[in-house]
Structures are given as structure tokens and as C-alpha cells.
Amino acid sequence: MPDRYVTKHPKGWAVKAAGSARASSVHGTQREAEQAAKQTVRNLGGGEVRIQGRDGRWRDSDTVPPGHDPNPPRDEKH
């Protein structure tokens, strides 16, 4: 499954595969970890990237194309 999670890590921010206990990479900033997770998901054919906030709650979720967005936007920009 290509989905990835960005979570808080003692050394910064970690990128983890869904269901994995170990981080696939660790980054100094949340932004770096988010970019790495999105690139990994893109290379694997698309999917979801979920981002955890400093408080431990999920703060954001992005669909990386060509993944299936479970909550697509209601309006189409033309």
C-alpha cells in the first residue's frame, strides 16, 4: 500500500508506511518530511499522505495523484 504518514519523531519528523512501526526516513522539519512522503507516494503510483500535528492529532490529509480521493472537491475549477 503506497500510503504514508508524517509523524513526530524524537529526531524531528518521520515518514512511515501504513502499518509500519519503523520510519522509512526522518527529517528535521515537518515540511521536509511531508515533501519526502509525497514524492514516495507519487513514485509508487499515488495514494494518501496523512500529516500529524505537534499535538499528535491528524491535521491534514492529501491525495497524491493518481490516487483515489475519498473526499473530492465539490466544485470543478475550469
Question: Which tens digit of pLDDT belongs to each residue from 41-64?
Answer: 999 999 999 999 999 999 999 999
Per domain, the residue ranges of the chain are 4-60
Q: What is the pLDDT of residue 73?
A: 66
CA atoms in the 13 A half-sphere facing the CB of 29: 3
Question: Which tens digit of pLDDT belongs to each residue from 2-38?
Answer: 899 999 999 999 999 988 999 999 999 999 999 999 9
Query: DSSP alpha helices (H): ranges in the chain?
Result: 30-43
pTM for the model? 0.81
